Protein backbone atom coordinates (compact mmCIF):
# COMPACT_ATOMS: atom_id res chain seq x y z
CA UNK A 1 0.00 0.00 0.00
CA UNK A 2 2.83 2.37 0.89
CA UNK A 3 4.54 1.62 -2.43
CA UNK A 4 1.43 2.57 -4.40
CA UNK A 5 1.12 5.87 -2.56
CA UNK A 6 4.81 6.62 -3.05
CA UNK A 7 4.61 5.72 -6.76
CA UNK A 8 1.50 7.89 -7.26
CA UNK A 9 3.20 10.83 -5.54
CA UNK A 10 6.32 10.40 -7.67
CA UNK A 11 4.27 10.33 -10.86
CA UNK A 12 2.31 13.41 -9.83
CA UNK A 13 5.54 15.33 -9.18
CA UNK A 14 7.07 14.18 -12.47
CA UNK A 15 4.08 15.18 -14.61
CA UNK A 16 3.27 18.52 -13.00
CA UNK A 17 6.26 20.40 -14.53
CA UNK A 18 5.34 18.98 -17.93
CA UNK A 19 1.77 20.18 -17.54
CA UNK A 20 2.98 23.61 -16.44
CA UNK A 21 5.18 23.94 -19.53
CA UNK A 22 2.25 22.91 -21.77
CA UNK A 23 0.10 25.64 -20.26
CA UNK A 24 2.80 28.23 -20.95
CA UNK A 25 3.16 27.09 -24.57
CA UNK A 26 -0.61 27.16 -25.13
CA UNK A 27 -0.73 30.89 -24.37
CA UNK A 28 0.56 32.32 -27.65
CA UNK A 29 0.21 35.98 -28.58
CA UNK A 30 -1.84 36.06 -31.79
CA UNK A 31 -2.37 39.79 -32.23
CA UNK A 32 -5.00 41.47 -34.34
CA UNK A 33 -6.21 39.86 -37.53
CA UNK A 34 -9.05 39.56 -40.02
CA UNK A 35 -10.04 36.05 -41.11
CA UNK A 36 -11.62 35.89 -44.55
CA UNK A 37 -14.47 33.52 -45.29
CA UNK A 38 -13.35 30.62 -47.49
CA UNK A 39 -12.81 31.63 -51.10
CA UNK A 40 -12.90 29.26 -54.09
CA UNK A 41 -10.10 30.15 -56.49
CA UNK A 42 -9.94 28.64 -59.98
CA UNK A 43 -7.08 26.51 -61.26
CA UNK A 44 -6.80 27.19 -64.99
CA UNK A 45 -4.45 25.22 -67.25
CA UNK A 46 -3.97 26.21 -70.90
CA UNK A 47 -7.24 28.18 -70.86
CA UNK A 48 -9.33 25.39 -69.29
CA UNK A 49 -10.73 25.28 -65.78
CA UNK A 50 -9.50 22.05 -64.17
CA UNK A 51 -10.19 22.57 -60.46
CA UNK A 52 -11.15 24.94 -57.68
CA UNK A 53 -9.19 25.32 -54.45
CA UNK A 54 -10.93 26.61 -51.33
CA UNK A 55 -8.52 28.95 -49.57
CA UNK A 56 -8.68 30.20 -45.98
CA UNK A 57 -6.74 33.45 -45.52
CA UNK A 58 -5.82 35.53 -42.46
CA UNK A 59 -4.78 39.16 -42.74
CA UNK A 60 -2.54 40.06 -39.80
CA UNK A 61 -2.87 43.67 -38.67
CA UNK A 62 -0.42 45.99 -36.98
CA UNK A 63 -0.87 46.92 -33.34
CA UNK A 64 -2.09 50.41 -34.24
CA UNK A 65 -4.85 49.16 -36.55
CA UNK A 66 -8.53 49.33 -35.59
CA UNK A 67 -9.44 45.64 -35.90
CA UNK A 68 -13.19 46.17 -35.46
CA UNK A 69 -13.30 48.68 -38.31
CA UNK A 70 -11.17 46.47 -40.56
CA UNK A 71 -13.23 43.34 -39.83
CA UNK A 72 -16.19 45.22 -41.26
CA UNK A 73 -14.19 45.50 -44.50
CA UNK A 74 -13.81 41.71 -44.78
CA UNK A 75 -16.12 41.53 -47.85
CA UNK A 76 -13.88 44.05 -49.63
CA UNK A 77 -10.76 41.96 -48.89
CA UNK A 78 -12.53 38.81 -50.10
CA UNK A 79 -13.78 40.57 -53.26
CA UNK A 80 -10.26 41.78 -54.05
CA UNK A 81 -8.95 38.22 -53.68
CA UNK A 82 -11.66 36.77 -55.95
CA UNK A 83 -11.08 39.43 -58.62
CA UNK A 84 -7.31 38.89 -58.56
CA UNK A 85 -7.72 35.11 -58.67
CA UNK A 86 -9.95 35.27 -61.73
CA UNK A 87 -7.88 37.93 -63.51
CA UNK A 88 -4.65 35.89 -63.30
CA UNK A 89 -5.24 32.52 -61.60
CA UNK A 90 -2.80 31.47 -58.87
CA UNK A 91 -2.13 28.14 -60.61
CA UNK A 92 1.08 26.30 -59.71
CA UNK A 93 2.83 24.72 -62.67
CA UNK A 94 3.67 21.53 -60.79
CA UNK A 95 0.51 20.92 -58.71
CA UNK A 96 -3.14 21.52 -59.58
CA UNK A 97 -4.39 20.77 -56.04
CA UNK A 98 -3.00 23.92 -54.40
CA UNK A 99 -2.58 27.58 -55.26
CA UNK A 100 0.69 29.46 -55.56
CA UNK A 101 0.88 30.83 -52.02
CA UNK A 102 3.69 33.30 -52.74
CA UNK A 103 1.82 35.02 -55.55
CA UNK A 104 -1.46 34.99 -53.63
CA UNK A 105 0.00 36.55 -50.48
CA UNK A 106 1.92 39.24 -52.35
CA UNK A 107 -1.13 40.17 -54.44
CA UNK A 108 -3.51 40.23 -51.48
CA UNK A 109 -0.97 42.18 -49.39
CA UNK A 110 -0.99 44.91 -52.04
CA UNK A 111 -4.79 44.91 -52.27
CA UNK A 112 -5.24 44.86 -48.47
CA UNK A 113 -2.99 47.89 -48.03
CA UNK A 114 -5.05 49.72 -50.66
CA UNK A 115 -8.29 48.85 -48.82
CA UNK A 116 -7.17 49.30 -45.20
CA UNK A 117 -4.71 52.12 -45.67
CA UNK A 118 -0.95 52.35 -45.24
CA UNK A 119 0.52 51.00 -42.01
CA UNK A 120 -2.49 48.83 -41.11
CA UNK A 121 -1.59 45.44 -42.62
CA UNK A 122 1.40 43.50 -41.28
CA UNK A 123 1.16 40.31 -43.35
CA UNK A 124 -1.13 37.93 -45.21
CA UNK A 125 -1.11 34.22 -44.40
CA UNK A 126 -2.85 31.30 -46.15
CA UNK A 127 -4.01 29.15 -43.24
CA UNK A 128 -5.30 26.19 -45.27
CA UNK A 129 -6.22 25.00 -48.75
CA UNK A 130 -8.67 22.32 -49.85
CA UNK A 131 -9.14 21.27 -53.49
CA UNK A 132 -12.67 20.66 -54.77
CA UNK A 133 -11.61 17.74 -56.95
CA UNK A 134 -8.94 15.29 -55.87
CA UNK A 135 -9.33 12.92 -58.82
CA UNK A 136 -9.82 13.48 -62.51
CA UNK A 137 -7.43 16.42 -62.55
CA UNK A 138 -4.80 16.31 -65.32
CA UNK A 139 -1.24 15.63 -64.27
CA UNK A 140 1.08 18.60 -64.61
CA UNK A 141 3.54 18.49 -67.47
CA UNK A 142 7.19 18.15 -66.57
CA UNK A 143 9.29 21.23 -67.08
CA UNK A 144 11.70 21.18 -70.05
CA UNK A 145 14.82 19.18 -69.21
CA UNK A 146 13.04 17.04 -66.59
CA UNK A 147 11.75 13.55 -67.13
pLDDT in tens, 28-73: 456 899 999 999 999 998 889 989 999 999 999 999 999 999 999 9
Name the band, by pLDDT with cuts 50, 70 and 90, for residue 8: low
CATH topology of domain 33-131: Tetrahydropterin Synthase; Chain A (3.30.479)
Phi, psi (rounded to 5 degrees) for 119: 80, 10
- In this prediction the pTM is 0.72
127 vs 53: CA distance, rounded Å: 13
Q: What mean pLDDT comes out for the span 75-84?
A: 96
Q: What mean pLDDT comes out for the span 116-135?
A: 90
113 vs 70: CA distance, rounded Å: 11
Contacts of 100 (CB under 8 A, 6+ apart): 90, 91, 92
109 vs 115: CA distance, rounded Å: 10
**DSSP result, 33-95:** EEEPPPEEEEEEETTEEEEEEEEEEEEEE-TTS-HHHHHTTHHHHHHHHHHHHHHS--B-SS-
Torsion sign over Cα 115, 118, 119, 124: positive
CA 100 to chain centre: 12
Tell me the average pLDDT of the chain: 83
Amino acid sequence: MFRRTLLAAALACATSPALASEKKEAKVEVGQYVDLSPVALPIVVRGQLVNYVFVYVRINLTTGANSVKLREKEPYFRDALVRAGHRTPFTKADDYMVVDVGRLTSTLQREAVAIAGPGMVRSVVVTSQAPKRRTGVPTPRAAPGQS
